[in-house]
A and B are shown apart, each in its own frame.
Chain A
């Protein structure tokens, strides 16, 4: 069964390979409701969200346990990425860069309670699962940043996460927090990892580093990357091809 819904101003697609029954339908409902709930709580565009109220008055609106967990994770990644991942913009705290992958990670756990053959895709970021000893894999295309209806690479993955950062879709503006400039090169950076939070945040940070980002990712354990530059040349980390069809 496969469903797509528009939540958090993004299309969210869940496919679970299983016979349709009550539990399956309930799981789809739980997952989509979870994203709606996260959107209500943490959208910076909703004045009633926890994050908006926290920014209005952090003393009066003490962060909830969940917001504390998100903010703590953000600060951990700020350290790990030498400041290339940041949630503090001109005194406003905006953890949107983490909230999406945080929600995917939690949704993954919800689905894994009952199923092991599924994928979840949220605005281009993906988690996949296949049963242990399965001979099948999920095939994931890397979108061509110059021709959005094309793909330029096919990743084959049984269990894990894939995230892509890019400025090529209208309204995306990833900038380098250390100099405040919008990143013009690379144009697309795809990261494969075990955890979607790791893959997504590290992709964002490495993207902000510019073309050197892929060299930084090469030094990190458990992450492989495919970077596309404005001259249509791609650079990949040394084990990336193990995941390519």
Chain B
């Protein structure tokens, strides 16, 4: 097991570099540059800018320098925001998206798992239909609709929570609810499906036949196999949640990484794009590794050769 983890961890670095290379190529292929604007710059000014940022060098040299910096974990300065360092930007803004993302996922997990398990155990009951309908509602109301509706009810009519901007617990309530709705729905439905599948499998029947209490059967055996779909889903979901969600960040004016990332792509801010992509790809790989490890704990029959 340990060697499996080490092997996977060692893989993270070359893979992140591969992702960065692909992204770098895409940035270079995309039309426009960070300084292109409504006004065309005089050629002399453009030349000054190119010289300042080393864009006048051969592309191979530029690529080499970029990779060298990345290996040293220094992504350099943003081009669009020249007084800010990419590492600094990630360090400053990741906590915002992480706070909102983790809280939202915890909320989604708590409510979604409970609803999914109960619904599966009481299949076709009123609770089953009720909670699944609710889950569907969370799914079919897009977050760009849910957010503004929550704001107009709770902030602008009842004046219970601030309508936007990050600051204190109260300001987190609405964005966390908005963000968690869709994940809650996913988790509830996946849990229900997984549980239904597992509760009918042979080993649960065996466990029941052994005379174990229903509670033990459910929590010790059923749940472990039943939440595998949720666990599979969690890896990528949590990684993207931590990196920030554009819509919620925009609606609630949260200075998270998600919006900064989208803007960096639209701005062709190469160092910032590469920095965030490298960071994000490492996150995704680590989360997926964690998921693969947890499979083994959840279901002892899953082994890695």
Partners in one complex: no
**B→A interface (CB under 8 Å):** none
**A→B interface (CB under 8 Å):** none
